[in-house]
Chains A and B, each alone.
Chain A
């Protein structure tokens, strides 16, 4: 009976390359095991969930390595799901980032007496969405991936149930996210309406034909604006500071790095594979978004008193830098992708590191005020040095990793050799100076100020999982800066051709 079902509904199962979807399936499996563990072992399972999630993530790296070793481009579902170098490097990044987020979460979630199994289950689901996003070359796949990564994140942002701020964080993130999805979906429907196909390669052909059709223009703008919410680009960044501040800090780190990166992955695919011939439309739009994000993010960051809010606005400004190469993507092609991926990878290392320090210090001070960092050097010199490394790396000071990220962006926009490109370079140069001011403000607090009198100045105890996270991120930040070939080996524009 069951075997005749396909012939009745006329459904033919498409060929599935199990190897190509192995990373997603592994994550799905681990997520299921984590959930089952909770049901079977109840309270006794709590101790194992974070370890299980962490190991599961590392296991998911294995098929990525084997796929990279095989080296061929794999397509499925008529080109809607593609595994190429572009997808693999980003999948690997998402999984490593998620692993570090698990390290950051372990003590935070356990000690805070929050629900653990559900947390890690949702985290794995969200990562699965991101990993899927890296392979999506089709509007529907992109949308499904986006929702899969967002919906768990809405819940995680509100994980500190008892705290109204966390509730506000989750709700705000949810409302803004849904709003953005709606706009994006509308744009997608316009594009689909004209192209009659959801695959990006078909959309590209339609856009090339009907570039001046207002429906196409509107569709492109709506889709880009939808993702501008996701990457917290100005003026669509307003959710970020409140959400970042209210959410549990490990979740903030996850949103600030992985979720933002996922937005960029989608933007890169859309710009590069979806409407490569519409540069007259998307370039000025992204130029404005880039300049607005870096400038507004920086200027507002200057006035922040709370470290997480500062990181939120710094994230807006960093998003501006990441948008910049896309604003000249039509002129320089694949080099723009290469620059954005380079930036995203380095940004992931240094930003996660900064959040790791914030979590470690907050264990002592229980405060997010920048004031609470006063005199940190006196009683936690190691933490101070690490935070200094991360902050100045974010500011782009050589030889720390951030310099090469900034360099890649400058290189891309100058390479365009257009007025738009050079002006963007000059604005970015000025902004990198402004950014230094607020990063240095935190550094100044830690190094130059005296310890507040009431503060506890016994040396800081840092749990092993945080030490591991700090070690990994600091090593990566330094290595990326001193020997950037580690990064460029994977992000070289000639290697990373994105398959439409």
Chain B
């Protein structure tokens, strides 16, 4: 089994969804039940595979290094290879993806958004899954780029076909923003290839090979990547596509967008931009930190101004991703661990919140918070789940959200030595203020929607039932994980820490001592 997993463990779950989609393509559209079953079977198989990977990963007991490495020729002329592998940073995100997608299939089982068509919807979902898993597994820049882009098309169609009223605008905005960033990112990858000592796209070799690049060039190359990843995160001021995309996307689209797609950006920083170009990262870090805290405050203020529940959750994403970016910008292993934790926690919690928003919308046919209210009266279980998720989202200790925010704030008290302490300490104060605002908007949201008595128009609406079986099935794993990770964060930190320390190579440690930069300066 171990042998098999080592060779095929990553390729099979990456491409299984595509195969599932290809099978569905051949089956006529009206056999909806069969389509749902195929999609479910495929995604569950992928999840089971993920579980096997996890077991083997723990068994290998080598969290810091890449496991299940495959290294095969792909496009020889440009020295791009098919290299896959996971370590403690990518595995949690990959497992999150493998978990979320089947839950999305279960959730949509009986309520596909208009214009229905489960065949096309599920096929897009499967293609998305391939793109997402592949991005987390790829260890070659070009392979990474291809998977990174593969997710664009299905998400574009998901928003554009199944989305809300303003879907056309939201879909193209999402697409154009992301594409703009990734086009420049590709130019950066190429510059890296030609400037580095070794002509390679291999992410394992590049940190060393890129060390010789002149600092001024490094800063430019980092800039291209910053745009590519920063737009995806999204960082202030590139966040404007996010509220539109989230608001207009169908529930499942929002969940995937929040839970996984945004992480592709932050993951890119942690996996590619910083380890390969640490010197440039140090130059950019104060700027990134600044944008991160602006994002935290701006997102929170944005939330307070919303009337639409889904839009509020979308803006809260901007704020939460700000915390993640703040953790990354400290360039310490502590901060980056916090960031990875924050990514997973945000994926679980915000994913849940979007599920809930979708369910509320389905019952009330509106997300206007001034018209909602009394969810606890009409659908008490759902109301409590919403309360639980709001608490998790505002960072209540004991739930997963806490471990993303608090260490990120803490890390900015003590950033890497090359960074100015005063700057980051002021960021820390601002970020801490952000948590207060977060408590404000989430509790306010809870009051508006869950507390009080239902409005007259909905008081006797028979459509408003409590959570259904498929909803429970989709939500339970997420809720359990939010609690478990909150109580025992070491489950995740234990995996990420060796990988962070290792993958941020020798530089991260020497960032603290300044040795890496002294050495570079002496060159």
- Chain A interface residues (CB < 8 Å from chain B): 338, 381, 388, 392, 397-399, 403-404, 407, 410-411, 414-415, 417, 422, 425-426, 429-430, 432-433, 436-437, 440, 444, 447-448, 483-485, 488, 491-493
Contacts and interface: CB of A to CB of B under 8 A. Distances in A.
Given A403-B146, A447-B160, A415 B183 contact: no
6 contacts: A398-B145, A398-B146, A407-B78, A417-B195, A425-B190, A429-B183
Contacts of A422: 187, 191
Contact of A485 (B74, B161, B175): B74
Given A433-B183, A488-B77, A411 B190 contact: yes
Interface of B: 29, 73-78, 120, 142, 145-147, 149-150, 152-153, 156-157, 160-161, 167-168, 171-172, 175-176, 179-180, 183-184, 186-187, 190-191, 193-195
A485 B168 contact: no
A444 B171 CA distance: 9
Given A399-B150, A488-B78, A414 B172 contact: no
Contacts of A493: 77
A440 B76 CA distance: 32
A447 B157 contact: yes
Contacts of A425: 187, 190
B478 to A, nearest CB: 30
Residues of B contacting A: mostly: helix
Given A407-B186, A436-B179, A444-B172, A414 B194 contact: yes
Given A411-B78, A415-B194, A430-B183, A440 B145 contact: no
B176 A437 contact: yes
Nearest to A440: B172
Contacts of A407: 78, 142, 186
A397 B152 contact: yes
B187 A410 contact: yes
A440 B186 contact: no
B175 A414 contact: no
Contacts of A447: 157, 160-161
A13 B29 CA distance: 67
B160 A432 contact: no
A433 B180 contact: yes
B153 A426 contact: no
Contacts of B149: 397-399, 403
A440 B174 CA distance: 12
A211 B491 CA distance: 70
A426 B184 contact: yes
Nearest to A435: B179
B495 to A, nearest CB: 30
Nearest to B157: A447
A414 B188 CA distance: 9
A411 B190 CA distance: 6
Nearest to B119: A381
Given A444-B171, A447-B157, A488-B77, 16 more contacts: A392-B153, A403-B146, A407-B142, A410-B187, A414-B187, A415-B194, A426-B184, A429-B183, A432-B183, A433-B179, A444-B160, A448-B160, A485-B74, A485-B76, A488-B75, A488-B78
Contacts of A399: 146, 149-150
A429 B156 contact: no
Contacts of A483: 74
A448 B168 contact: yes
A485 B160 contact: no
Contacts of A484: 75
Contacts of A485: 73-77
Contacts of B175: 436, 440
A432 B168 contact: no
A414 B190 contact: yes
B318 to A, nearest CB: 22
Contacts of B157: 447
Nearest to B78: A411
B45 to A, nearest CB: 22
A351 B193 CA distance: 30
Given A397-B149, A399-B150, A447-B161, A426 B187 contact: yes
Contacts of A429: 180, 183-184, 186-187
Contacts of B176: 433, 436-437
B82 to A, nearest CB: 10
A433 B185 CA distance: 13
A231 B142 CA distance: 30
A348 B195 CA distance: 32
Contacts of B156: 440
B105 to A, nearest CB: 21
Contacts of A433: 176, 179-180, 183
A410 B186 contact: yes
Contacts of B171: 444, 448
A323 B39 CA distance: 44
A19 B424 CA distance: 74
Nearest to A395: B179
Contacts of B29: 381
Contacts of B179: 397, 432-433, 436
B341 to A, nearest CB: 30
Contacts of B145: 398
A442 B183 CA distance: 21
Nearest to A342: B77
Contact of B190 (A398, A410, A430, A436): A410
A410 B80 CA distance: 15
Contacts of A398: 145-147, 149-150
A494 to B, nearest CB: 8
A492 B78 CA distance: 9
Nearest to A429: B183
A392 B78 CA distance: 23
A444 B146 contact: no
A228 to B, nearest CB: 25
Contacts of B195: 417
Nearest to B195: A417
Given A398-B146, A425-B187, A448 B76 contact: no
Which are the 5 A-B pairs with shortest beta-carbon distances?
A429-B183, A488-B77, A398-B146, A414-B190, A398-B149
A432 B176 CA distance: 10
Nearest to A448: B160
A183 to B, nearest CB: 35
A436 B183 CA distance: 12
A130 to B, nearest CB: 26
Contacts of B191: 414, 422
A407 B142 CA distance: 10
A360 to B, nearest CB: 19
Contacts of B153: 388, 392, 397
A430 B177 CA distance: 11
Nearest to A408: B78
